[in-house]
Amino acid sequence: MNERADKKAARATADQVAREANVSRVAVSRAFNPNASLKPEKRDRILQVARELNYTPDMAARSLVTGRSHLVGMIVPDVCSPWESQEIDALTTALQAEGFATLLFKAKADFSMDPRLLTYMRGFNPDSVIAFTENILPDVLCGFLDRAVPIYVIYDDVKQFAGAASGTLYDRLLVRQKNGIEQAVALLQGYGARRMAYLGGKAQSLANAERERTLKETLAERGMDAPIVLAGDYTYDTAYQATLDLFRIGEGADAIFAANDVGAFGAIDALRHELGLSVPEDVKVVGFDDIPQAHWKSYNLTTVRIDLEERVRALVRLILMRLRAPDAEPFTETLNTRLIVRGTVG
């Protein structure tokens, strides 16, 4: 067995990599930090030697020295629905570019979190935690974190955490839904819609509750009747059935505002394929989110857009700002929504 094979038999140290690559110990550390300044050819040479010697940085040891784990936890309500899956993918990609790895934790069906999983999360000592499930109050989540300040995605109503303990520190991404909803209602009213139905999302979702509240408020401001509220859960099948019930059992509507795009797809297919109605001639449909499938020609959906790229950039900024100023007052980033007009209204 040659000398290099002997070295590879056991995991090498950073000092061994530095000697073999003829660089400093600091250069080896920099090579494994994507944000560190290092000439590309030098980084490539160090990484090649590290592979040959079976070297990888000891993140646990580095965490003890720096106080940083380079881990970001994400608490999500779902991992396979179109919006959540694309957001997880985009956010993971952006965080990896900043030198972070991600830990994914899935909430229960009622959007609560198993305390055992929160304890497990604490063991990883994450640098930050993003809570996409608003039902876990900040004072509860913070009780399971050592130094990380959680980030919450909040929709419209900044008082939704009024029940949280006074003084609990958390950062916020505030999503303003009202702009996009106002634009949608104005467009529907302009095309003659008078009797509107709201096809809701999950009852436990605060985002859905705020969406419904804002729609009712906007309709009232424009002198229109309150919407018919249809129970939903953000899924295609439930939306499909709710739309059939609206027209076969109820009195129907001339416009449907869905809490998400997938629900809008279910409504459109029920209208066209079961009820024999045309969209938008007989019934106008608006969705929410603007997932990639919304522009597909079979749907061509008019929808309220949450800009995913802007949302991801804002979340990354919040993480980096908090790491630079761990004791600062709460940080807030604000994201507005806007209507994307396609072919399901006029």
Structure-derived torsion over alpha carbons of residues 282, 288, 294, 300, reported in degrees to the nearest 10: 30
Q: Residue 8 phi/psi, 5° resolution?
A: -80, -15
- 157, 175 contact by CB (below 8 A): no
What domains are defined for the chain? 3-57 (1.10.260.40), 69-175+308-337 (3.40.50.2300), 178-306 (3.40.50.2300)
pLDDT digits (tens, 9 = 90+) for 283-324: 999 999 999 999 999 999 999 999 999 999 999 999 999 999
pLDDT digits (tens, 9 = 90+) for 152-202: 998 876 555 554 555 789 999 999 999 999 999 999 999 999 999 999 999
Structure tokens at 282: 């007989």
The 3-state DSSP class for residue 247 equals helix
pLDDT digits (tens, 9 = 90+) for 76-92: 888 888 999 999 999 99
Q: What is the spatial distance between Cα 184 and Cα 234, in angstroms, rounded to a whole number?
A: 19
Q: What pLDDT band is residue 1 in, cutting at 50, 70 and 90?
A: very low
Q: How many residues would you count in the chain?
A: 346
Structure tokens at 247: 């027209």
Percent of the chain with pLDDT over 70: 90
Report the Cα 191 to chain-centroid distance in Å. 33
Q: Strand 338-340 vs strand 302-305: parallel, antiparallel, or unpaired? A: antiparallel
Q: What is the spatial distance between Cα 25 and Cα 44, in angstroms, rounded to a whole number?
A: 15
pLDDT digits (tens, 9 = 90+) for 204-254: 888 899 999 999 999 999 999 999 999 999 999 999 999 999 999 999 999
**pLDDT value of position 32:** 75
pTM: 0.80
**pLDDT value of position 160:** 57
Burial tier of 117 (Cβ tally within 10 Å: 0-12, 13-18, 19+): middle
